[in-house]
Chains A and B, each alone.
Chain A
Amino acid sequence: DTAVSQTPKYLVTQMGNDKSIKCEQNLGHDTMYWYKQDSKKFLKIMFSYNNKELIINETVPNRFSPKSPDKAHLNLHINSLELGDSAVYFCASSPTRVYEQYFGPGTRLTVT
């Protein structure tokens, strides 16, 4: 059984397009996250939701908008994609905000 799943695994698109990445967890966790891992492998948090409520919103361009329709899902929508958005995006979940995180397999976004 997949704990944290993301779709798609690969996403290739052109500058200026809008795209979404979906994330689902079947662990019953309260907290979900989006991270960006750049080419230098630096993993940086973007957003966190706790029980569908946004609790962390790091310095991220407002072209990025997370949406949590329910506790098990946290989607990431990106408008007007730029070259610098190319990275691997990871979704994660944790039982609460102070426990270990379970990561999805990642979505490799390439903007051309």
Chain B
Amino acid sequence: SQKIEQNSEALNIQEGKTATLTCNYTNYSPAYLQWYRQDPGRGPVFLLLIRENEKEKRKERLKVTFDTTLKQSLFHITASQPADSATYLCALESGGSYIPTFGRGTSLIVHP
């Protein structure tokens, strides 16, 4: 069966460090993968999209990698700040179906 796995345990890090979040998937052949941020009581906010033929994408302090062999995406936030504390969701579509499927998200807590 298809699965998208993100760490259910919260990631606690100190301000200024790099946060790395993982998204693993099985039985998908996604053409692209997306990362979103969700704050409590709010809708998800799009951060980055990476396509299957791209290994890495960057936007300011954010970096995403996509390894279709390992079936894994890593999401990095460098020089993390307390304001980066939120839940981060990965999403991918199911092999040309255009049906976006979200992982359950990982909570990031950045301590000052």
Interfacial residues, chain A to chain B (CB-CB below 8 A): 4, 33, 40-45, 48, 55-56, 58, 90, 92, 97-106
A104 B43 Cβ-Cβ under 8 A: yes
Q: Is the C-beta of B32 less than 8 angstroms from some C-beta in chain A?
A: yes
Complex CA–CA separation, A90 to B44 (angstroms): 9
Interface of B is mostly: strand
Given A41-B104, A45-B99, are A103 and B34 also a contact pair (CB < 8 Å)?
no
B101 CB contact (under 8 Å) in A33, A45, A55, A99: A45
List B residues 89-105 near A (Cβ within 8 Å): 89, 93, 98-102, 104-105
A41 CB contact (under 8 Å) in B42, B87, B99: B87
Number of residues on chain B facing chain A (CB within 8 A) = 20
- Could you tell me the distance in whole angstroms from the C-beta of A73 to the nearest C-beta in chain B? 17
- Could you tell me the distance in whole angstroms from the C-beta of B18 to the nearest C-beta in chain A? 24
A106 B46 Cβ-Cβ under 8 A: no
A-B pairs with beta carbons under 8 A, tally: 47
Q: Which residue of A lies closest to B46 (CB)?
A: A100
Complex CA–CA separation, A58 to B89 (angstroms): 20
Q: Is the C-beta of B10 less than 8 angstroms from some C-beta in chain A?
A: no
Q: Using Cβ atoms and an 8 Å threshold, which residues of chain A touch B31?
A: 98
Q: Using Cβ atoms and an 8 Å threshold, which residues of chain B touch A56?
A: 98-99
Q: Using Cβ atoms and an 8 Å threshold, which residues of chain A touch B99?
A: 45, 48, 56, 58
Given A41-B105, A45-B101, are A103 and B43 also a contact pair (CB < 8 Å)?
yes
Given A43-B102, A45-B99, A58-B99, are A92 and B43 also a contact pair (CB < 8 Å)?
yes
List B residues 23-80 near A (Cβ within 8 Å): 31-32, 34, 41-46, 49
